[in-house]
Amino acid sequence: MALTVLGLTVATFAMTRLSPVDPALQMVGDHASESTYLAAREELGLDRAWPVQFGIYAAKALTGNLGRSISTGQPVSSDIARTFPATIELATVAIVIGASLGLLLGIVSGIRPGGVVDAVARVASLIGFSMPIFWLGLLFLLFFYARLQWASGPGRLDVLFQYTVKPQTGFMLIDTWMSGKPGAFRSAVAHLVLPATVLAIYALSGIARLTRALILAERGQEYTLTAQARGASITRVVFVHILPNISGQLITIVALSYASLLEGAVLTETVFAWPGIGRYLTVAMFSGDTPAILGGTLVIGLSFILLNTFTDLLAERSGGV
């Protein structure tokens, strides 16, 4: 884990330094004097050698100091603490929906390959893998929000509640529930439906396809053929024998899908104006905000690594590979 985090930090740091965007120039503006520009470079440590710059950044990052954002003027750690809960909330709701439907479709498809449910699962997988997620989000906004008006639009709350609900945890569902304001919780749920559904389709496609493949592969094994020869139905074989045997792989699939939602929600958050870390990184990249890019990438990468490690532990304890 330590080596992976180090490699991620080195790679991200190198890419930001190879970028044509000058952080010092972004800070002081095009019309600043040369002395002001040089002072900004010194303040940012850009006048030192790359290894020295990286060493200073890594030492500060270990203490939780990720620098100060050029765009917001706030510490990057504070910005991430403010935006990351929105991404976690969105990804968690999406993975609950996507994993539930994906596992259901995958199991039924594995029990009855070639059936109606199998065809639905294949179409859903095809849509999830082939259609760009930002395009799917725009289609959802066009039809369900603009045309049919079945769902709420971008953002996390209606304008009526944006400045009246006090953010306490950063999770809007919890904050609106705790606020006790009539209609606030319903507004938060309504605004969560479309972006969560878009991400859920993306997660569902992979989970359903891989679950189906695992079940079909196990159906050809000797222990399942023996159980069927003894009179057990294929449904019983799947639920009693196959699913416990592949539980480790299923845990890995779901957990990695969740991690991919955390890191891949950038376009979805941008389309739906969702104030999460993905949108924060998008704004930072467009403005050349190097500290924000480094800090956001590091946090997302660390989250992915921790989830991956935790998944491996769960898979080992459940007998998976």
pLDDT single digits (tens) 69-110: 888 888 999 999 999 999 999 999 999 999 999 999 999 998
What homologous superfamily is domain 78-317 in, according to CATH?
MetI-like (1.10.3720.10)
pTM: 0.84
- Among 213, 191, 151, 210, which Cα is nearest to 274's? 191
Q: Where are the domains of the chain?
A: 2-62, 78-317
Ramachandran angles phi, psi of 75, nearest 5° = -60, 140
Gyration radius from the chain CA atoms: 24
4-19: per-residue pLDDT in tens?
878 888 888 887 777 7
Please, are residues 237 and 143 in contact by the beta-carbon 8 Å criterion?
A: no
The larger pLDDT score, comparing residue 50 to residue 105, is at: 105
pLDDT of residue 158: 86
Give the residue ranges of DSSP H helices in the chain. 2-18, 23-28, 34-44, 50-62, 76-111, 116-130, 133-140, 159-162, 172-179, 184-219, 222-229, 234-236, 243-245, 247-264, 266-271, 277-287, 290-317
pLDDT of residue 46: 74
Please, are residues 162 and 59 in contact by the beta-carbon 8 Å criterion?
A: no
Please, are residues 223 and 117 in contact by the beta-carbon 8 Å criterion?
A: no
The larger pLDDT score, comparing residue 97 to residue 181, is at: 97
262 vs 84: CA distance, rounded Å:
9
- Tokens representing residue 283 in the block: 């704004």
Whether the per-residue pLDDT at 321 is higher than 70: the answer is no
pLDDT of residue 320: 45
- What mean pLDDT comes out for the span 166-185? 87
Sequence-distant (6+) residues with CB within 8 A of 169 are: 85, 175, 178
- What mean pLDDT comes out for the span 248-263? 86
Whether the per-residue pLDDT at 318 is higher than 70: the answer is no
245 vs 238: CA distance, rounded Å:
10
287 vs 122: CA distance, rounded Å:
41
SS3 of 68, please?
strand
- What mean pLDDT comes out for the span 302-316? 80
Please, are residues 63 and 53 in contact by the beta-carbon 8 Å criterion?
A: no
pLDDT of residue 104: 93
CA 75 from chain center: how many Å?
22
